[in-house]
Structure 1
């Protein structure tokens, strides 16, 4: 996976954005605290900015943190797959 400059997609500079060979974008979050609904809404906003710039791409969330069940459902309903990395 290649690291992409998030500023190209009008995302904050601290966002870790990866892209694989098949035009799949991965938002990577490395932290210990749980991802809650407020975090999920921020993730969705970032995904919408990526989709606006590059329509038709697949966006995934890769994280080391646990994700609450409401956030998991919210993100999957909005087309964001969660990859748990432990």
Structure 2
């Protein structure tokens, strides 16, 4: 389960056997969520992360979207 980065107490990661669409999992002390990164950024599921932290995570994902996509493709061989 490679961690891409951790910012503001939110960990961004993906699993080694992921599937499309390109997405990341996020985790903080309150819970976990899954967010599609490409082709559009959208929350797929949220289990316990507060709305303000989801908003913060979405801004981070938007800022680093290209880096996340590159890391995903490099790791999964796409």
Instruction: State whether TM-score is above 0.5.
Output: no
TM-score by length of 1: 0.36
Higher relative contact order (CA 8 A, sep 6+): 1
TM-score by length of 2: 0.38
Which has the larger Rg? 1
Greater per-residue strand proportion: 2
